[in-house]
Structure 1
Amino acid sequence: MQLQYWKGHVYVGHLFSSGFSIVDVTDPRAPRALGYIAAPENTWNIHLQAADDLLLVVHAKDLWKKFDIESSYYSGSVGSRLKDEEQDWSAGVAIYDVADPSSPRQISFLPVDGIGVHRLWFTGGRYAYASVLPNGFSDYVFRVIDLANPSSPQWLGEYWLPGMNFGAGEEPTWDSEKWRYALHHAIIAGDTAYSSWRDGGLALLDITDRARPTQISYRNWSPPYGGGTHTSLPLPGRELLVVADEATADELADGLKRVWVFDIRVPANPISISTFPTPDEIDYAKKGRHFGPHNLHENRPGSFVSEEIIFATYQNAGVRAFDISNAYAPRQIGAFVPAAPDQVIDPRPGGRAVTQTADVFVRDDGVAFTTDYNGGLDVLQFTGKD
């Protein structure tokens, strides 16, 4: 699933094998798997973040053991459906010292009372940001982590869409049996959190006071579009926001998903101005499994940071590079589609040996790492748009 690069090493969270792996990529042409750290029983570690010699790893209920039919995971509120589950999993954030990147050493754990943590944003400094599903909430919400002392992290402020806190008597304004309003994650730029809420769309949050996040603006285009808002990448220098909607169903059963470009010059009024071109050199809808966006390279400090070149994974269509120097007319400038995997790791019904590129991380020298649910890790070289 997610991967992170730190000091010549890549950490890879696993979707179906629990735990995470450490890979030495000091020679990117000859990666070496150094080790695997197993998750606790019934727990997954699918997302992680590395910065400041710290590695933050999510702990949450392994939801594929509950929702082996994928459509049931994406349809309706997870927290509402699991509120009576007896907890037999680990929930929270594990923090590792990776001063020696080849040998992570756990130094603390920040627990949560509920399903756990889905994804994180941490680029160093005092604060990290998490999507968290605590007891009493219908699905994942936004929380701030105070890392002033990494050996004793603390939860700080939080925010949720009105209607998600059923424990406090709130009721949703959406069909909670059909739509899934849940924070996937937020990316932070300055004092603004750009948060993606799956079928709940996009919210810009003012986090000047980390203990009291407040809403700046909110947009949702589902319906008529199919939801699944996954990643919102701010380009602060151009006052733009690139937003990817995740394709979450086989053979386009949830509709064709897109990557959107928003003008955010007025943060209280984000306006969509274009979409990325959809890969079409073959009929990817007929290729099988998921076709469409999943994740974006997130311009993390120290990585390949650009406000004109954007990398996006498209699952069975591999990874793509786009030039958005003209924000009104994005164009594709590069692509890599891995060969079909040799084996199927995905245990869910309908598993097939079809490319499913999930995540991408690009180093500042253009070396790119991508993950595939079944196919493992690919190492690529981006040579530029010309």
Structure 2
Amino acid sequence: MSASGSSSIARADSAKNISFVAYSDQGARPDGVQVIVHKGFAYVGHMFSDGFSVLDVRDPRRPEAVAFVPMPKNTRSHHLQVADKLLLAINGPSIWTLAQFQDQSKYFASTLTTSFKDNELAFAAGVRIYDISVPSTPREIAFLEIPGLGVNRIWWTGGRYAYVAVHEQGYTDHVMAVIDLSVPERPEIVSRWWLPGQWIAGGELSALPAGKRHAAHHAIIAGDFAYGAWRDGGITIHSIRDLSKPVMISHSNWSPPFTGGTHTALPLPERNLLVVADEATTVNCANGIPRIWVVDIRRPESPVPISTLPVPKEFDYCQKGGKFGPHNLHENRPGSFQSSDIVFATYLNAGVRAYDLRDPFQPVELAHYVPPPPARMIDSRPNAPAVVQSGDIFVDPEGLIYLTDPNAGLHILQFEG
């Protein structure tokens, strides 16, 4: 389904140097999280619908939902990765539909093993692998079951190894694991790494402060290095030259005094920079406004934050409702828009932003687009605000932006900066 450009652009809350192209409700499932466009098809993981959708976007002005792949009961696959002729979808409990997480702050404010109370709930935990040779008919070829509380996010751009944030029994929360896909029908975990205090089965003791959560969100790989985000645990840089024994080179954390919630660590290796987004995890700026940091990594053993990206100011977003602050960054995947000077970020109730980093000490906002409120709410949690919460993003080589929202569907936009 697509909406007319004229009607939707008129309803945009705010726009500068980004124009409307098309809209899709993703086959009446407008709850989108991670989106990846591959060979003319957009693959979208869902927040509430417990599965993923495939959209034909070969004509981006007329996106068409062509498939929905359901997951087992109580299981979501909000994050996925696509490369070659394969799709990897995460499996874990459908968090936001559970009674124990109707107050979402409980999910972010303590370790997963502490906050997750329903030990009788049946759900799938692991990674599902699909053959997408025929994009409209994904065919499951393997399921790597990982006993525990599920997988959060994956980094995989093709090739032998995938990097996953996974909870396994014996750990307090998500840790990083490497999956060998040399035989996609028989994936296997070959190594793991975690922050000190996470391996309780190994006798480690956690010194985690109350109200904080140390957990792998995901890592992005560049060359022989993995750049990991750990929620309230900050960032790590690991050498993965020997994947059987990843080595931590540095660990940096600015929470406290800042908000924590570190979501994405995006390396710009040719400039020796790391762009780090701290996710907004509370409504109405209850714990402050998170930031997007620019970090100098010329010496990876000693990263130094040198600036933060400008915070949107054209409206009082803390009073708008919902969450205000960064969520994710466009991750410069192969086959997508790749730049060391321009960074795209989703900003929840402030839409999507594009930044110029040519002077890393004084970043400048180039463009933004704030979609209108969702036409209907998929989120059934009490008091869920009917405001846009732009969450994930993919930008293609021509500057087409694919922007998702947990209620407001897929907006396809054109960067004009």
Q: TM-score band (shorter)?
A: over 0.9
The residue aligned with 1:339 is: 372
Structure 1 gap segments, 5+ residues each? none
Amino acid in the other structure paired with 2:224: D
Determine the C-alpha separation between the residues in 2 that align with 1:132 and 1:150.
19
- Quote how far apart the aligned CAs of 1:315 are: 0.4
Contact 2:107–2:115 at 8 Å: present in 1 too?
A: no
Determine the C-alpha separation between the residues in 1 that align with 2:169 and 2:286.
31
Amino acid in the other structure paired with 1:226: T
The DSSP-based 3-state class of the residue aligned with 2:101 is: coil
Q: Say whether residues 1:29 and 2:65 are aligned partners.
A: no
Determine the C-alpha separation between the residues in 2 that align with 1:241 and 1:100.
37
- Quote how far apart the aligned CAs of 1:82 are: 3.6
Q: After superposition, give the CA deviation of every residue in 1:84-128 in whole Å (9 maximum; x if it has no partner).
A: 813511000000111222221111111101011100000011100
The residue aligned with 1:113 is: 147
Contact 2:106–2:115 at 8 Å: present in 1 too?
A: no
Determine the C-alpha separation between the residues in 2 that align with 1:62 and 1:375.
19
Amino acid in the other structure paired with 1:138: T
Amino acid in the other structure paired with 1:354: V
- What's the TM-score once normalised by structure 1's chain length? 0.97
Contact 2:160–2:181 at 8 Å: present in 1 too?
A: yes
Determine the C-alpha separation between the residues in 2 that align with 1:80 and 1:292.
26
Determine the C-alpha separation between the residues in 1 that align with 2:117 and 2:317.
38
Q: After superposition, give the CA deviation of every residue in 1:24-74 in whole Å (9 maximum; x if it has no partner).
A: 101100100112111101111010000111100000112221312100010
The residue aligned with 2:78 is: 46
- What's the TM-score once normalised by structure 2's chain length? 0.90
Q: Say whether residues 1:20 and 2:52 are aligned partners.
A: yes
- Quote how far apart the aligned CAs of 1:317 are: 0.4
Identical-residue share of aligned pairs (%): 51
Q: After superposition, give the CA deviation of every residue in 1:279-332 in whole Å (9 maximum; x if it has no partner).
A: 001111111100000000000001000000000000000000000000001100
The residue aligned with 2:354 is: 321
Determine the C-alpha separation between the residues in 2 that align with 1:341 and 1:84.
31
- Quote how far apart the aligned CAs of 1:80 are: 3.6
The residue aligned with 2:236 is: 203
1:181 pairs with one of 211, 214, 217? 214
Q: Say whether residues 1:356 and 2:389 are aligned partners.
A: yes
Determine the C-alpha separation between the residues in 2 that align with 1:326 and 1:17.
42
Q: Say whether residues 1:153 and 2:192 are aligned partners.
A: no
- Quote how far apart the aligned CAs of 1:350 are: 1.5
- Quote how far apart the aligned CAs of 1:79 are: 2.0
Q: Output aligned runs, 1:80-229, within 5 Å.
A: 80-82=114-116, 85-86=119-120, 88-175=122-209, 177-229=210-262
Higher relative contact order (CA 8 A, sep 6+): 2
Q: After superposition, give the CA deviation of every residue in 1:126-149 in whole Å (9 maximum; x if it has no partner).
A: 100000000111100000010111
Q: After superposition, give the CA deviation of every residue in 1:341-365 in whole Å (9 maximum; x if it has no partner).
A: 1111111122121010000100011
Amino acid in the other structure paired with 1:290: K
Amino acid in the other structure paired with 2:69: I
Determine the C-alpha separation between the residues in 1 that align with 2:242 and 2:118.
34
Change (3 A) 1:67 1:117: same
The DSSP-based 3-state class of the residue aligned with 2:402 is: strand
Determine the C-alpha separation between the residues in 1 that align with 2:325 and 2:289.
7
Q: Say whether residues 1:287 and 2:320 are aligned partners.
A: yes
Determine the C-alpha separation between the residues in 1 that align with 2:115 and 2:325.
28
Structure 2 gap segments, 5+ residues each? 1-32
Determine the C-alpha separation between the residues in 2 that align with 1:296 and 1:204.
18
Amino acid in the other structure paired with 1:141: V
1:74 pairs with one of 108, 127, 130? 108
| Further displaced range: 63-72 or 332-341 | 63-72
The DSSP-based 3-state class of the residue aligned with 1:2 is: strand
Question: Structure 1 stretches (4+) deviating beyond 4 angstroms?
Answer: none
Amino acid in the other structure paired with 2:342: I
The DSSP-based 3-state class of the residue aligned with 1:114 is: coil
1:59 pairs with one of 74, 87, 91? 91
Q: Say whether residues 1:365 and 2:413 are aligned partners.
A: no
Amino acid in the other structure paired with 1:170: E
Determine the C-alpha separation between the residues in 2 that align with 1:290 and 1:144.
32
The DSSP-based 3-state class of the residue aligned with 2:250 is: strand
Q: Output aligned runs, 1:5-16, within 5 Å.
A: 5-16=37-48
